Amino acid sequence: MSVALLSLLAFPSLVTAYTWRFNSPPQQCSNLTISVSGSDGKPPYRVLILPFGPSPLANNVEARTIVDQPFPDGASSVSFKLNYPADSQFVAILSDSKSFGSGGTSVAVGVASSSDSSCFDTITNVAPKFVFSIEPPNQIVQCVPTRIWWDNSTVVGQTTFLGVIPGGQSFSIPESNITNIISQGTGFSWTPNLRGGTTLMIVGGDGRGNGTAGSSLNLVSSGPNNIGSCLDDASPSSTPGSPAGGSFATSIPTTGDSSTGGKTNVGAIVGGVVGGVIGLAAIGLFFLFFVRRSRTERNREKQPVNLLNVDEGDEAPVGSAGGNSRNELPEYYRPEPFTVPDPTIASTYDEDFGGTNSEGRPLSGYTSTSRSGTPDILSSYGGGSTTTNGRKGQLRQMRPINIIQHDDAGPSMPPRPDDEVETVELPPAYTNIRQ
């Protein structure tokens, strides 16, 4: 038997020749009518309605239940009340008497609003009649065995488990080798031959109907090893082309949403404009800050270094005691005159110091110097009209000397051997430094 024939037998939904559709868009607490067309389906038909996605009610209250609705005997259409709130979603699967899902599976369909909201409880969560679990918890891995288990004491009759792919193929999950594990309960192992990335809903049921155990929504994972030994062309997947039941919006806007949308657009535009203005203002402020900062640094670089004047803020005010003008040297840089008595002119002095030599020069022991402005000048040279021994005399005349002031503070030049002029070196005054 060929692989293609086996695929057709395992998944009859691939070769379905009958179709079905919603006669009108689903509405909250309104009748939902489904019609079947084509001669290949074998009545009686059934439709399974599965809640999909989160609940739109406050506090995420789940008021939707799984609906397993049979068609009347021999009928090709069915109508029933849809007890789902507006803005919720569901997936519908149509089956005939031959197999589950033979008519195909719809995509997620949104529920429109209506004036009637009395068909569901907005504060009480619904609960299944029994629950099932999967191991590993909340994981479906491609080609990796998964255990589905439940508490057998809560089950009525035989359990059934279904696999539903929204907008694709739906199938029955084979139950084989059912075992009891103390920590898990009753269950079986199933190897999902589904490709990674497939959206899968697992629906549990028993003798009371499909969906009595609720459903779980899973995304098939490829796993760390990406095992593909169980995959082939017949592996269930989404069906290309138009989905079963027709095309409908996955969410339906409620009445009055058009005006709200207009307000939202205006608010978004205004918010964008305000945000843009604030952003431009912030950029401008940053630009001005950096411009002023760079200008200040350039001015600081152009300012000459003042080696003569003290730091700003430290100098004394002009005109005050100790204050210097900008072009004056500080007091500790001012040169003081150096005076030496003329050796060629005789003068009276205390004979106790030895007088003069034959050339009229004062003895070296008597020759002394003094800074101007100090009181030792007068006392050294007579201090008035009398000397230290009471004799009157005049102050010595000062002889001229050469004073060299260095401009570069470099080493002094050696004196010439035949030059008898005394040379006094002074530290540089730095008065010629360009301001």
CB 339 within 8 A of CB 367: no
219 alpha-carbon distance from chain centroid? 29
pLDDT at position 194: 94
Buried b / exposed e across 309-342, counting CB within 10 Å, b at 16+? beeeeebeeeeeeeebeeeeeeeeeeeeeeeebe
CB 238 within 8 A of CB 244: no
Closest Cα to residue 71, out of 100, 101, 48, 38?
A: 48
> How is residue 414 written in tokens?
């050696």
Question: 3-class secondary structure for the chain?
Answer: CCHHHHHHHHCHHHHCCCEEEECCCCECCCEEEEEEECCCCCCCCEEEEEEECCCCCHHHCCCCCCEEEECCCCCCEEEEECCCCCCCEEEEEEECCCCCCCCEECCCEECECCCCCCCCCCCCCCCCCCCEEEECCCCCECCCCEEEEECHHHCCCCCEEEEECCCECEEECCCCCCEEECCCEEEEEECCCCCCCCEEEEEEEECCECCCCCEEEEECECCCCCCCCCCCCCCCCECCCCCCECCCCCCCCCCCHHHHHHHHHHHHHHHHHHHHHHHHHHHHHHHHHHHHHHHHHHHHHHCCCCCCCCCCCCCCCCCCCCCCCCCCCCHHHCCCCECCECCCCCCCCCHHHCCECCCCCECCCCCCCCECCCCHHHHHCCCCCECCCCCECCCCCECCCEEEECCCCCCCCCCCCCCCCCEEEECCCCCCCCC
pLDDT at position 69: 95
Residue carrying structure tokens 């909250």: 28
Q: How many CA atoms lie within 13 A of 237 on its CB side?
A: 13
CB 120 within 8 A of CB 62: no
CB 168 within 8 A of CB 124: no
pLDDT at position 238: 77
Q: Which residues contact 318 (CB under 8 A, 6 or more apart)?
A: 324, 325
Q: What is the mean pLDDT of each run of 10 residues along the chain (435 residues)?
A: 42 61 94 92 94 95 96 94 96 94 93 94 94 92 95 95 94 93 92 94 95 95 91 83 67 39 52 82 85 76 58 50 54 62 51 47 44 44 44 56 61 60 72 62
pLDDT at position 365: 42
pLDDT at position 55: 95
302 alpha-carbon distance from chain centroid? 42
